[in-house]
Structure formats: C-alpha cells, structure tokens
Amino acid sequence: MAQLVNPDLARERSRVSFDVEKLTNVLYGGPDGVKRKRRIESLALTDPDYEHEDFNYLSREEQYANMLKKSLMAAKKAKELGLSGKDMDDYMT
C-alpha cells in the first residue's frame, strides 16, 4: 500500500534535529509498545476487507453507509483478535 507524501513535508521531515525512532519509543512506551502498535496496524492495513474504494462517485448516503459498515466490521474483527483499549483504538484508526 504505497502512500504519496507531499514533497514539502518529506523535505521538512528529513531536516529534523532529533532521532525520530527515539521519540516514537517515548510516545508508545518503549520499543515493545512500538512493535505492538506496528503489528496491530499491519493487521488492519493488510486486511483485504479494508480495500480503498473511490468515494468520489458515491452519494453522501452511500459514503456514510459504507463507512458505517467498515467501522462495524473493524470493531468485530478487533474483538475477534482479542484487542481492547488502546490496542483496539490502534487497529481501528
């Protein structure tokens, strides 16, 4: 799942004066917390049920119904995976 990054944003990110991974570890409670978050994100990002759809051609009602369906599906899958609390939030966002 390739993501395009704005060139200005990429340039600014390359100029940081601190270790990004160290800050990430602080924010997620250490290396184990980062690994857990990345593993949970990977579960959601690689799930074919979450394939991107082109919402430009859907009505507002269709967009709402589609996102509601995906949100309910994500909650169900997170529960099946035994996720709760912060882990469930990471999976669903």
Q: Is the pLDDT of residue 69 over 80?
A: yes
Categorize the per-residue pLDDT at 3 as very low, low, confident or very high, splitting at 50, 70 and 90.
low
Give the mean pLDDT of 15-26. Answer: 94
Query: Quick check: 28 and 37 in contact, CB under 8 A?
Result: yes
Domains of the chain in start order, with CATH, are: 18-92 (1.10.540.10)
pTM above 0.75, yes or no: no
* Amino acid identity at 4: L
pLDDT band for position 27 (50/70/90)? Answer: very high
Name the least confident of 13-22, 32-41, 46-55.
46-55
